[in-house]
Every structure is written in C-alpha cells, then in structure tokens.
Amino acid sequence: MSRKWISFPLREGDCSRQAHCDFPEGTYEREMGREGFFGPTAHLHHKHPPTGWIDWQGPLRPHAFDFNDIASERDCPLEAPLTLHNAEMKLRVWKTHGAMRHLVRNADGDDLLFIHEGAGEFFCDFGHLSYRDGDYLVIPRGTAWRIEAREPTFMLLIESSDGAYQLPDKGLLGPQAIFDPAVLEHPRLDEAFKAQQDESTWQLRIKRRNQVSTVTYPYNPLDVVGWHGDNCVVRLNWRDIRPLMSHRYHLPPSAHTTFVANGFVVCTFTPRPVESDPGALKVPFYHNNDDYDEVLFYHRGNFFSRDNIEQGMVTLHPCGFPHGPHPKALQKSLENPATFVEEVAVMIDTRRALEIDPAAAQVDVPEYVNSWRAPGLT
C-alpha cells in the first residue's frame, strides 16, 4: 500500500499555512521545487512579483517561438525541421498535404505525433486508423508508416531517443483517472488497409543516427495479414482527457501528465473549471525551473496565463529563473477571475537542458522576455 511518514516543513517569517492559497497580504508566492514538481519544495513569499525584472542581459532567458512561420512543408517527416533538442528528446514541426508515396521508419527512437491541424489516414505495420486535430499518435521505434492527409496537416513530432513512451503511474487515483485506457485506439487491418496493399515499387526511408537510408521494395511493405502483441501504435485525443481538478487548490502541471519517457514528460492542459475557493490561487503559480526546461505548445483556446501568445506558438522557459503568469493575467485573477479555462496546450518538461536549433531561432520573438515588464501590482 502506498504510504508516507508524517513530516513537517520548516517555517520562517510570515508565510501561508498551505501552498498556493491564502497568501500573506501583499505578497507573491514563488515555488522552488526539485525534480519537476515531484521532489522537495519551498514556498517563498515576496514583496514583489518574482518576474518583475526591468532588464535582462545574457543568453539565459525565456523564449517564445512562432512555429506557424517555420517553413516546414515537406513530403517526408524525416526532413521535418528540428526546433529544440537534447540527448533524450528531439522536437520537430511538420506541415504536409496529400498522400505520402513512401514509407518512413525511425530507428533512432519512438515518435509521438501531436496533430495540431488537419485530418487524414494513417497507415503502418499494424494497420490503418484515421487521425484528426488534437490526436496523439504513439509510434514505437522501428514502425514503418505513412499518412494520407485529407486536410492540410500541421503536427509536432516528439522523438524519445532514449526509450519508449509509457503512461504515468496514477497511484491512489486509480487507473481510470485522467483518461481511461479504454479510450486508447490501435490500428486495424480493415478494408482501407487492405486496399492500399499493392505490387508497385515502394521506398522505405529509415532514419538511424540522424542519417536517412532508402530501401526499395517491388511491393508495398505494409502487407501484414495479422499480428498480436502489446507493442503497437496507439491513438489518444485530448478530448478524451478528463483533467484532475480541485476547487480549493491549483494543481501543479505534473497532475496533467499524459506520457512519460526517459528524461522528459509530456503533459496536456485541457479545458477545465477555475478554482472557486476565495483563498485559492487561480492562475499558475510562480515557480523556478531548478531541474527541468519547460516547453509549451499552444494548440487552441484562450491561454489565460499568457499575453500575446497565439495558436501554433511555443514558449521555452529554461532552468535557472522563476516564471509564472503575466502581470495582466495575475491582475485579472485577483480582480475579476474567470470561472472556466478554454485552452489546450502540450507541455514537454525535459531533465536535460535544451538546445535551440536554427529553425526555432529564426522565429524567436525577442520581446517575449519583456512581456513581464509591466507596472507592479498593488
């Protein structure tokens, strides 16, 4: 049985009795946490917003990137521009339309596709399934696949280079919490899959050590007639996620974890009610990234804690400084809080520092660092 010995945090000065609620008057809470919200924490109460800087020099800084402006239209996903990466995770962005006339296989890692826009058909070793906006497709390393886009498609490709994607341990909540595994879909050997099998010449492009090799067959290698096992492509749509909520406490991002990989996690923020308890914080709390870099891809809706962020944009908050709601969002939460959040976003928290690749650097929004530079709250 899961259990934990009773322990008490240290206390000093004027502080709240509990995290994220009922702050001492005129203070701003900042969480210093380890291991991405899973480790030890301290909650400090400041006289001023922890993001109230007026100048910033040097390479460490928050970033915003407009992925809409990346020239990512390609016929092959293996050529999709690399935007951010480290040893365990590579983030690419890909736009395509029409039908792929070749297959691809990633021998460097497992891929997680997030469909930002578009719809179509996905064919792989395991069969066929349709995709739409908001779908995650988990593709195990070594799977051959291709798509036929019925609508122009814009997606993220998140490569796990050091292991497979798994589901988070839901602990006391039980296995049906957040989403019931019963909603997961796998490809089918249906008529659409059988219809695409032919004796024409097909290329299979394989990525290994970031180099692409091409193998040509005199037939379509997606010629499976049956299979069994539990290592296969899986589909999940954000609309099937039922987020954890507390009306009295603002839950940390870790409560929205969707997939876990070696060295990083993928979380999904979906529409949800805002905390209703008068003393509860109603926007994300100020916090340090003391062990993890945080990436957020904004899919759709009203991004209530951000200013001037649109669909298809990405923010990067590297380890080493506090961040949290923008001043206008915090002010609104104090004066006229919303009752419901209409947003969908994908968060990637990485244990190792991320490198910014040229495709992202070219669409960097340099003024993002100054978006917190607003008059102090009273």
Q: From CA 220, how far away is CA 123, in angstroms rounded?
A: 11
Catalytic residue of the set 63, 250, 256, 299: 250
Other CB atoms within 10 Å distance of the CB of residue 356: 16
293 labeled part of a ligand binding site: yes
3-state secondary structure of 193: helix
The phi, psi pair for 67, rounded to 5°, reads -65, -15
Asked whether residue 323 is marked as a ligand-binding residue, the answer is: yes
Please give the C-alpha separations between residue 106 and each of 92, 208, 353, in angstroms, as whole numbers: 13, 7, 23
d(CA 178, CA 242): 5
Distance CA(280)–CA(231), nearest Å, equals 43
State the Cα–Cα distance between residues 195 and 54, nearest whole angstrom: 62
The torsion of the CA quartet 132, 139, 364, 299, rounded to 10 degrees, works out to 30
Q: Residue 193, exposed/middle/buried by CB under 10 A (0-12, 13-18, 19+)? A: buried
Is 250 labeled as catalytic in the residue annotation? yes
Answer whether 309's CB lies under 8 Å from 301's CB.
Answer: no
Query: Is 256 annotated in some ligand binding site?
Result: no
Is the Cβ–Cβ distance between 156 and 114 less than 8 Å?
yes
Annotated binding-site residues for homogentisate read 323
Binding site: what residues are annotated? 287, 293, 323
Annotated binding site for Fe cation: 287, 293, 323
Active site residues: 250
